[in-house]
Amino acid sequence: MDVDSDAVASDPEASEDEIITAQKVLQTLEEAWLNEKFCPELLPHQSDVVECMMEQVQQMEDNIRRLPRGDFRVVVHRLELDRIRYVISNYLRLRLEKIEAFTAHILERENDLSPGECRFAREYLAHLETHLRHLALRHMPTNIQDLDHSNMTAKPNTSSFVFLRVKGEVSGVVIEGDSNNRDEEIDLETGSQHVMQYRPVAELVRAGSIQLI
């Protein structure tokens, strides 16, 4: 898909990653993938990580091509590349799915989108509008022909429940009241696992002190 390659096309920060090992980048990517998978809303894009990994994959492919046929390493490297590609494509696909679901809402916070995703979202919204106009709205009485985004925007349900593991200790997370309407304050210890609403920990997920599982 065009958008995928555009999404990772260019980012000036990519050069900073060269100090970090590929292993570390892969780990970051995998964590971002899992977070994105379980998070009800769209998280900030990680296109520098994706781009870096794509470069690695490309490089490795070139290396493999240079190896003699039947070399023991070929199969192993191929297997690894397939695994990495799966993570990357699944990650990008998950993001596109969310963008399609909450287009207008997501476009309000463009910073979370990579340039490619941003273009995709805009075009998607424009196409959707044209489609609606063409199919139905133009046959409507003039007074109800307007598309009002504020009323019809789908928003992610941030109060939905998620499973999470704590990476860095956080104390005093306030959880909305239980059935008796009391607010509860809890401390999250490193390594512990919890199930709770996404909203109270949303910032922590973005900051990276919590991993969704």
Partner 1 sequence: MDPAEVEFLAEKEMVSIIPNFNFDRIFLISGEIGPFRAGLPVKVPIWMAINLRQRQKCRIIPPDWMDVDKLLEVKEIESQSRFFTKMPSEHYMVEARLLLGAAAEDITRTDEIRTVLKVSKPFGYAHTCGLGAVSRTQCQGWSYLRDYSFVENEKYFVSYMKLPLLCIVATRAGKLDIWDMRMSKLRTSVDAFIRSGSTHARLDHLTQMELCSVRPLLPDALDQLHRLQKIKKLFTMSPGQGNPRRLRSIPNEVLSAGLVLLGKEFAIIHKK
Q: Which two tokens stand for residue 164?
A: 């999470």
Cα 163 to Cα 35: distance, rounded to the nearest angstrom: 10
Which C-beta is closer to partner 1: that of 130 or that of 159? 159
> In the chain, what is the greatest distance between 2 CA atoms, to the nearest angstrom?
71
Cα 175 to Cα 199: distance, rounded to the nearest angstrom: 9
Cross-strand bridge partners of residue 166: 210
* Shortest CB 193 distance to partner 1, Å: 4
Placement of tokens 């304050």 in the chain? 185
* Shortest CB 201 distance to partner 1, Å: 10
Which C-beta is closer to partner 1: that of 131 or that of 163? 163
Which C-beta is closer to partner 1: that of 142 or that of 181? 181
Which C-beta is closer to partner 1: that of 21 or that of 145? 21
* Shortest CB 12 distance to partner 1, Å: 23
* Shortest CB 134 distance to partner 1, Å: 35
Helix (H) or strand (E) segment spanning residue 188: strand 184-188
Catalog residues that contact partner 1 under the rule CB under 8 A. Answer: 22-23, 26, 37-38, 53, 56-57, 60, 72-73, 75-77, 79-81, 83-84, 86, 157, 159-163, 175-181, 184, 186, 192-197, 213
Cα 199 to Cα 111: distance, rounded to the nearest angstrom: 20
Which C-beta is closer to partner 1: that of 132 or that of 161? 161
Placement of tokens 């003699």 in the chain? 68
